[in-house]
Amino acid sequence: MTTVATVGTSATDIEFHYDLGNDFYALWLDQTLAYTAARWDGIAPGEPDATALHRAQLAKLDHHLDLVGAEPGGGARLLDVGCGWGSLLVRAVATGRAAEAVGLTISRAQHDYLGRLGLPGVEGRLESWEEYRTERPYDAIVSVGAFEHFATAGMSRAERLAVYAHYFERCHGWLRPGGRMSLQTIAYDGVADGSGPVGEFVGTDIFPGAQLPRLAEIAAACDPYFSLTVLSASAEDYARTLASWSGRLLRAREEAVRLIGEDGYRRYRRYLRASEVTFLRGATTLYRIGFERRDQPLKLSV
């Protein structure tokens, strides 16, 4: 099957990033291969890095499953839009919070990895959210760290709003009445807009084609389809996750250089450190948002 992401980051750009090889990412992510901010509440700064990162990643996954009401043993049908290597799908099924967990990704390496796991109840699909169709409604939808790829750099605010509204409309269509959804995304804060050397480096060398949203855009785009039930912001959660990844990559330097070369290794170290600084400076932040599906979409102009 081929993937077509007609808006947002293209499959080619996604592959530029994610298809560097699962072994490379496994060197510095935790064992779930979660590649988004963890949730560090209650994890002491002195805890050994490997267990601390893993515990914080599991806490993040459980937080999203709580937000969508996927209770342990509840056996929900769950969709993960932008599932990466499947950390949330695996957690949801292993804890009985989901009986059936379907994930969309546009990275072939991630899709193939998930297929090789061969877990009952877990289905990875190499498909963009724009293409995805299903006849069977979901109880819950989670999306963690994919929204940043739904629009592209260079779009006007009106174009971004149209794409985001389209996404929320699709989620509304996939969910059963009363269904819940959660979203985790990086967003610009303050006057930041991605211009400047760090934004340009990340936009060219690391995540070509990505575009961060602003909170007001998410709020306006979801409004016809969802009521917003929970909103939290934590730049610290991403800064601490990036610091942890950065330290782990440094310690795995030799193997990383063997896998992606000296230039690639330096590029990733620079990206992790530079991104940490944007969170510490308050130029970017991290939102976790809970939503409840409106029974009937409202006739609002976005």
Ligand X SMILES: C[S@@+](CC[C@H](N)C(=O)[O-])C[C@H]1O[C@@H](n2cnc3c(N)ncnc32)[C@H](O)[C@@H]1O
Query: Any binding-site annotation on 86?
Result: yes
Query: Any binding-site annotation on 174?
Result: no
Which residues are near ligand X by CB under 6 A?
Answer: 5, 8-9, 14, 34-36, 81-84, 87, 104-107, 110, 128-129, 144-146, 149
Q: Which is nearer to ligand X, 4 or 219 (CB)?
A: 4
Q: What is the DSSP string of the chain?
A: -----SSSS-HHHHHHHHTT-HHHHHHHS-TT---S----TT--TTS-HHHHHHHHHHHHHHHHHHHTT--TT--EEEEEES-TTSHHHHHHHHTTSEEEEEEEES-HHHHHHHHHH--TTEEEEE--TTT---SSPEEEEEEES-GGGTS-TT--HHHHHHHHHHHHHHHHHHEEEEEEEEEEEEEE-TT--S-SHHHHHIIIIISTT-----HHHHHHHHTTTEEEEEEEE-HHHHHHHHHHHHHHHHHTHHHHHHHHHHHHHHHHHHHHHHHHHHHHHTSEEEEEEEEEE-SS------
Minimum distance of ligand X from residue 296's CB (angstroms)? 26
Residue number closest to ligand X, CB atom: 84
Query: Any binding-site annotation on 85?
Result: yes
Q: Which is nearer to ligand X, 128 or 179 (CB)?
A: 128
Query: Any binding-site annotation on 244?
Result: no
Minimum distance of ligand X from residue 277's CB (angstroms)? 19
Minimum distance of ligand X from residue 104's CB (angstroms)? 4
Q: Which is nearer to ligand X, 36 or 265 (CB)?
A: 36
Q: Binding-site residues, please?
A: 35-36, 78-86, 105-110, 129-130
Q: Binding-site residues for S-adenosyl-L-methionine, please?
A: 35-36, 78-86, 105-110, 129-130
